[in-house]
Amino acid sequence: MRQSTVDVGNTVIEGARTEMWRVDCIGDASFTRSGDGASWTSFSGEIAIHETVKVPGFKAAGLSIEDFILLSVTPPDPQKSPFDGLRQTIPVKLATDVWIPEVTVLTSDSASDSTLDPDEYIAYAL
Each domain of the chain, given as residue ranges in start order, spans 2-96
Q: Which helix (H) or strand (E) holds 36?
A: strand 27-36
Q: pLDDT tens, 15-42?
A: 777 788 899 999 988 888 898 889 888 8
How far, in Å, are 26, 76, 83, 110, 120 from residue 94 at the CA level? 11, 32, 32, 37, 38
Residue 98: band (very low, low, confident or very high) from pLDDT cuts 50, 70, 90: low
In the prediction, which pLDDT does 105 show?
61
Q: pLDDT tens, 38-95?
A: 988 888 888 888 888 888 888 888 889 999 988 888 888 888 888 888 889 989 888 7
Q: Residue 104: beta bridge partners?
A: 124
How many of the other CB atoms lie within 10 Å of CB of 26?
15
Residue 3: band (very low, low, confident or very high) from pLDDT cuts 50, 70, 90: very high
- By C-alpha distance, which of 65, 71, 126, 69 is closest to 101? 126
**Burial class of 44 by CB neighbour count within 10 A (0 to 12, 13 to 18, 19+):** exposed
In single-letter form, the type of residue at position 115 comes to T
In the prediction, which pLDDT does 123 show?
47
For 26, phi and psi rounded to 5 degrees? -115, 5
Residue 107: band (very low, low, confident or very high) from pLDDT cuts 50, 70, 90: low
pTM: 0.59
In the prediction, which pLDDT does 66 show?
94
